[in-house]
Amino acid sequence: MAATTAATVTAAGTQHVLLRPSFNPNPLRSVIIPRSPFKIPSLSISCTAVRSPPASIATKDRLFNFAAGPATLPESVILKAQADLFNYQGCGMSVMEMSHRGKDFDFIIKKAESDLRSLLSISSDYAVIFLQGGATTLFAALPLNLCSPDDSADYVVTGSWSDKACKEAQKFCKAKTIWSGKPDKYTKIPSFDSLEQNSNAKYLHICSNETIHGVEFKDYPTPLNENSILVADMSSNFCSKPVDVSKFGVIYAGAQKNVGPSGVTIAIVRKDLMGSSQPITPVMLDFKTQADNASLYNTPPCFAIYICGLVFEDLLQQGGLVEVEKKNVKKASILYDAIDGSDGFYVCPVEKSVRSMMNVPFTLKKSELEKKFIEEASLEGMVQLKGHRSVGGVRASIYNAMPLAGVEKLVAFMMDFQARHP
């Protein structure tokens, strides 16, 4: 492929040259040419006929991104979106420009829903809705849809996200923390028998994977009251393994970890739970309105839904969530084994039986080395390893799209770093 160059010279005289892959090892980075001593006339040159780089170039140039979200996406998905970006499937425009009520987007959203239903074996008793506002908005939408202001709801608080969910729900119903892992610095999941559930609670809420603390439910509690339901924030382990949806009344997840870009939140809601929202519920948060309108009550985040659709297609092509889980187990085990086998150089505080397969937090015994560790890893092409600002340390998020090679490279780096700091 012939390399092309797009150059712009600003009126201020600073020249930015965006070099295409064969010239620039990082095609996303522009090269700043220092301000010229000579007056350069205002000039703008752009070349639009640039073909997609072949997959090998994209792979070579990309970093291993261990961010907790927005997070790494499958390269095949990004390349497919790139190939279709300018003119989606020959329809003459991009997905970003098309009507959300036209036939092309209708196909995109229906296929995304149908592929997600296949992945998780979601029955017709459940609605699948694509929403906006992130999982944080769902924290409010849950009590607004499932409770009246005097109803109670039980929250198991295993980390920052379930804590936030409970605090938000308290504005709209009598939400109560029935168990908190805070005294143990959120390193545990309670035994389900020890949960003191309220017999009148309308729902029991869990966060199936705490993104910051790296604590994951391996099994799920059953609500005490048979009319109650289990509700789960699955933002950071959605579609990382098979889940029996029939155990839940509502599952919700922000897309930007395992299944797409930020901007879309997916909710799977049992249909009989819809239709009795509180009168103050904003129309955008009303599950029934959204389900009745097939997520098209207003303009949805079309491009984000399209990317989620590509990810679902990719997960199905990999053999579905059983196969995806096998890969995730392998990646997580080699990382935890490296931590546990480091003679205490690296420490993961989370109880072994509930360690997250997606977010692996760890500290260095010599905490003064953490900054160096993160900086050196970054120079080696492994980025976003800093722990959440509330807890510090290191966190490697190894979602579905993180290749095994990325985890292997991190483990090799960890061993080398340890050897260099006896």
361: left (phi over 0), alpha (psi -120 to 50) or beta: beta
What number of other Cβ atoms are within 10 A of residue 271's Cβ?
A: 14
Q: Determine the Cα–Cα distance for residues 351 and 186; give it in Å rounded to an integer.
A: 10
252 binds ligand PMP (CB under 6 A): no
Q: How many residues bind ligand PMP (CB under 6 A)?
A: 11
211 binds ligand PMP (CB under 6 A): yes
Least distance CB 348 / ligand PMP (angstroms): 18
233 catalytic? Reply is yes
The token duo for 189 is 């999941």
- Provide the greatest CA pair distance for the chain: 79
328 binds ligand PMP (CB under 6 A): no
Catalytic residue among 241, 257, 331, 386: 257
Single out the residue of 254, 261, 301, 406 in contact with ligand PMP (rule: CB under 6 A). Answer: 254
Single out the residue of 98, 119, 153, 207 in contact with ligand PMP (rule: CB under 6 A). Answer: 207
Catalytic residue among 161, 202, 241, 314: 161
179 catalytic? Reply is no
Which range, of 111-119, 181-189, 231-239, 337-345, touches ligand PMP by CB under 6 A?
A: 231-239
Catalytic residue among 233, 286, 288, 331: 233
135 binds ligand PMP (CB under 6 A): yes
**Cβ atoms of residues 216 and 210 within 8 Å:** yes
Q: Determine the Cα–Cα distance for residues 217 and 202; give it in Å rounded to an integer.
A: 21
- Per DSSP, the three-state class of 92 is coil
Burial 364-374 (b: 16+ CB within 10 A, else e): beeeebbeebb
Least distance CB 45 / ligand PMP (angstroms): 39
257 catalytic? Reply is yes
Single out the residue of 21, 27, 53, 69 in contact with ligand PMP (rule: CB under 6 A). Answer: 69
- Smallest CA-to-CA distance from 225 within 249, 253, 201 is with 201
Q: Determine the Cα–Cα distance for residues 89 and 387; give it in Å rounded to an integer.
A: 41
Which CB atom, from 69 or from 406, has the smaller least distance to ligand PMP? 69
Catalytic residues: 161, 233, 257
Residues in touch with ligand PMP (CB under 6 A): 69, 134-136, 161, 207, 211, 233, 235-236, 254
